[in-house]
Every structure is written in C-alpha cells, then in structure tokens.
Amino acid sequence: MTRLTQGTIVSFLADIFTRRGHEEYLGEQVTMSAHMLQGAHFAAAESQREEIIAAALLHDIGHFTSEFGSFTMNDTEDRMHEEAGAKVLAGFFPSVVTDCVRHHVAAKRYLCAVDPKYFDDLSDASVHSLALQGGPMSEAEVTAFEKLENARDIVQVRIYDDRGKVHGLEVPGFDHYRGMLQRVVDAHLAT
Ligand code: FE
C-alpha cells in the first residue's frame, strides 16, 4: 500500500467504496456501501456534526482490512473489523470519528444491555453476530463504556448503523461526502 497523505486519504476511501462497496453485508438486505451511505444519510438528515456523519459513513470501513495491507490467510470474518478501521483512520480523523468506528460493536453490546427494546429491533444477522461478539455487556462493562469520552456520539452512530439496512432505499453516493470528509481531515490536521 502506498503511504496515505492528507491529500490522498479521501480518494483512497472513495476507491474502496467504488471497488468493494457492492459486496454483500453479511446477512443483510443491503450492500456494504449502501449500508454505510444510508447511515451517513440518516446522520445528515438529522443535521449531525460533520464528524458524526463521517463516522457513520466510515464505521464499517474496517471490513476491507485487505485494503490496509494487513491481510493474512488466517483472517476470518470477525477479525475485529472495528479496530482495523479505526487504525487506518487515526492518522487523519479526530478521535470522535475513530472512537465511533472502534466502539460501534461495543455500542451494540451496550445498547442490548441497557435497552431491551433495542435488542428486539435488531436485524436477524445482527442478533446472530451479537453472540460471536460476546453478547450484551455485563454491568461492569456498561459502567466502563459510559465513561468513554465520546460515549454519546458512539451510541448515536450505532443507531445510524442499525438504521442503514433498508433494502432499495436510494441515498446520495460517496461523492456527495467528499468535500465534507476533506474538511474534517483538514480541520483535524490543522490542530
Ligand atoms: Fe455497520
């Protein structure tokens, strides 16, 4: 992988959406790119901050770990995609974005523990993966999660994640967000 820079990171991400976005989102009614674009769309529709829209857009980018030069033949589907995604974004995006990416699976385990209705509304695939991910959080895990600096934003992005599974819903494509992503990167790197 060539070294990513402030000037190439957004194109790098766009390229992943273009080449890999059609891939199936395991067990769901939408492709990977449709899923992430729908999440971003719902965040934008609620006038969220650009960091939150960016986080919703990129939350599953770690599914494409092979794009980051870390692929091994031992990879399995649940190879901590959230950690891989946060790592590649960390050099360019503020911590609120990387935290939302890193903890989006934890947020699901958190919400399952604190909100019974949340569990009832999960998709079948998401219920299945919940077991692999450790099930609902314990009380101690809930307490620790709530202490995370960006806990509220992390939960909010998780909710957009869960909503972004609507078969056939047409939303703006990646290009719609390019300028916004670059602004988030530039603002972060300027600090
Ligand atoms: Fe997702």
User: Is the per-residue pLDDT at 124 higher than 50?
Assistant: yes
| 178: Cα separation from own chain's centroid | 17
pLDDT of residue 68: 66
Residue 100 has phi, psi (to 5 degrees) of -65, -35
Characterize 121-130 residue by residue with b for buried, 16 or more Cβ atoms within 10 angstroms of its Cβ, and e for exposed: ebeeebeebb
Q: How far is the CA of 8 from the centre of ligand 1 (A)?
A: 24
* 68-82, 142-156, 162-176: least confident range: 68-82
Q: How far is the CA of 73 from the centre of ligand 1 (A)?
A: 24
| 123: Cα separation from own chain's centroid | 17
- pTM for the model stands at 0.90
The alpha carbon dihedral of 39, 41, 173, 34 has a sign of positive
Cα 75-78-84 angle, rounded to 5 deg? 75
Q: How far is the CA of 140 from the centre of ligand 1 (A)?
A: 25
Q: What is the mean pLDDT of residues 153-163?
A: 97
Architecture of domain 9-190: Orthogonal Bundle (1.10)
Q: How far is the CA of 59 from the centre of ligand 1 (A)?
A: 6
Q: How far is the CA of 82 from the centre of ligand 1 (A)?
A: 10
| Summary mean pLDDT of the chain | 90
pLDDT of residue 116: 87
Q: How far is the CA of 138 from the centre of ligand 1 (A)?
A: 22
The pLDDT confidence band at residue 123, using thresholds 50, 70 and 90, is confident
130 membership: H or E segment, kind and range: helix 124-132
Domain boundaries, the chain: 9-190
Q: How far is the CA of 159 from the centre of ligand 1 (A)?
A: 10
pLDDT of residue 1: 54
The pLDDT confidence band at residue 24, using thresholds 50, 70 and 90, is confident
Is the pLDDT higher at 152 or at 82? 152
Locate all alpha helices (DSSP H) within the chain, ordered by sequence.
9-20, 32-45, 50-58, 81-89, 95-102, 104-114, 116-121, 124-132, 139-146, 151-163, 178-190
Q: What is the mean pLDDT of residues 111-127?
A: 91
